[in-house]
Amino acid sequence: MNNVSGYFKKQTNFLLSATQPRQYPNVVFPEISFIGRSNVGKSSLINAIFMKKLAHTSNTPGKTRQINFFNHGDSLMVADLPGYGFAKISQSEAYKISDLVSQYLRTRENLKKIFVLIDNTLGPKKIDIEMIESMRDIKEKIFICYTKSDKKIKEKSAFSKELEKFDHLIVSSKTNSNIFDVQKKILEIL
């Protein structure tokens, strides 16, 4: 597949939201998913890649508590996973979400690539490292996107070194910087 722009002109549509595995779409298309802390820019990145207001962006972290699935051109499934590290929910709800996500990551057979988003202005946090460590069995699927590259770096992270071995891009959904390269990465799996 070499026509990147052409491929992303295909229609993308919201399919369903799932809170349980039995609700996941039963399709054979390859799937990619987006994961990261609440407010890291997951929905914004999905919208930038697919050039459409698909995922709901928000200033209120922790809004997405289910897995939202989108169908791109009957050839690719896209999953927007609930954000982690959001403090303002109950412990039991946090466990429920983390069970849902880890179950999804372990068992979803058509899952080809996991885009782990990290806020470039803050760098990786302990919780990002823990999340990535929990994915050790599927680490070859991980691709890191450092988000909000249009903004000034606020903090120097103590954990940056731990992620050096992962393939990554530094992107901005606001200026579209490197979004084309993320699209190219996606086409590689098809």
Residues at the site binding Mg ion, with contacts judged by CB under 5 A: 42-43, 64
Strands in the chain per DSSP E? 12-18, 31-36, 67-72, 76-80, 111-119, 142-147, 168-170
Q: Is 174 in the site for ligand GDP (CB under 6 A)?
A: yes
DSSP 190: -
Question: Which ranges constitute the DSSP H helices of the chain?
Answer: 4-8, 42-50, 91-107, 126-134, 179-188
- β-partners of residue 18 are 67
Least distance between Mg ion and beta carbon 118 (Å): 15
Strands 111-119 and 67-72: unpaired
Least distance between ligand GDP and beta carbon 62 (Å): 8
User: Which of 3, 5, 59, 90 forms a contact with ligand GDP (CB under 6 A)?
Assistant: 59
CB-wise, 74 or 157, nearer to ligand GDP?
Answer: 157
Site size toward ligand GDP (CB under 6 A) is 20
CB-wise, 43 or 71, nearer to Mg ion?
Answer: 43
Residues in 104-163 at the binding interface with ligand GDP, rule: CB under 6 A? 147-148, 150-151
Q: Is 90 in the site for ligand GDP (CB under 6 A)?
A: no
CB-wise, 42 or 108, nearer to Mg ion?
Answer: 42
Question: How many helices and strands (H and E) does the chain possess?
Answer: 5, 7
Q: Is 11 in the site for ligand GDP (CB under 6 A)?
A: no
Least distance between Mg ion and beta carbon 83 (Å): 6
Residue whose C-alpha is closest to residue 13's, from 67, 57, 56, 74? 74
CB-wise, 2 or 59, nearer to Mg ion?
Answer: 59
